[in-house]
Amino acid sequence: MCVHSPTPRDGLRRPSIPRLPARSRFRRFEQELDSWWLEQVLSTLVAALNMHDGGTADHSMRVASLATDLAKHVGYAYDSAEFEQIRRGALLHDIGKLGIEASILRKPGPLTNKEWEVIETHPGLGYTILKKIAPLVGTAEMVYASHERWDGGGYPRGLEARQIPPAARLFMLADAWDAMTSDRPYRDALTFEAALQEIHDNDGSQFDPAVVAALDRLIAERGGRWDALDHRPAA
């Protein structure tokens, strides 16, 4: 279980001024206030996306949960600023879908090529939304690259390998895992074994080998249990 909750921290109490010497007291207060406001913005964005495309909030939370677990296994410390950016980026990775017609997002069947072209604009739209929020500029870059493949065959820019920000490589795997293990209107969810096989079949093409190795370590750590890797929120 991830130590940090990947969910937006709804209902957090507004920080109060701590009892410290004046200068450090105000500095800490400012930092806590910034992060409090940012969490409110995050919750609002995820809620707006969920209204537009029902179920996306749960998907985003599962992706954030797996992405942060993978982040730990590639070496990020839980209390680092990078780890926090990864959590935020994973939660917001689909935010650009706010700019995609609901009729395409909710289509109960496979998409046409033209509709896929529209869907593929969502990382760029997400970047456009997030770059306007100063503390989320770094997150905007991660989101922009979240559908780039290790072999350069992704979108929108065709970045490859180490050109892709490390956080975005985590999102690619976590997002694919959640898509494969979730039911779709036109197909059932894959089993744990089939999804894992699919990840290994695309090791070094779609996915960064270091991230696939992190997934293997995560599974081994949890005794290879499907329920241990099922990042769905408890019912």
In the complex, the residues that contact Fe ion under the rule CB under 5 A are 94, 175
Residue 89 makes CB contacts below 8 A (sequence gap 6+) with 67, 139, 142, 143, 146, 167, 168, 171
Report in angstroms how near the CB of residue 63 gets to Fe ion at its nearest: 6
For residue 132, which amino acid is it? K
Residue 47 makes CB contacts below 8 A (sequence gap 6+) with 57
Using the minimum distance from each CB to Fe ion, give the nearer residue, 174 or 212.
174
Report in angstroms how near the CB of residue 175 gets to Fe ion at its nearest: 4
Using the minimum distance from each CB to Fe ion, give the nearer residue, 94 or 141.
94
CB 181 within 8 A of CB 158: no
Q: Across the strands, what pairs with 203?
A: 207
The torsion angles phi and psi of 203, rounded to 5 degrees, stand at: -65, 120
Report in angstroms how near the CB of residue 146 gets to Fe ion at its nearest: 8
CB 156 within 8 A of CB 124: yes
Report in angstroms how near the CB of residue 94 gets to Fe ion at its nearest: 4
Using the minimum distance from each CB to Fe ion, give the nearer residue, 59 or 72.
59
Using the minimum distance from each CB to Fe ion, give the nearer residue, 141 or 175.
175
- Provide the 10 A C-beta neighbour count for residue 144: 23
Using the minimum distance from each CB to Fe ion, give the nearer residue, 32 or 53.
53
Report in angstroms how near the CB of residue 226 gets to Fe ion at its nearest: 21
For residue 73, which amino acid is it? H
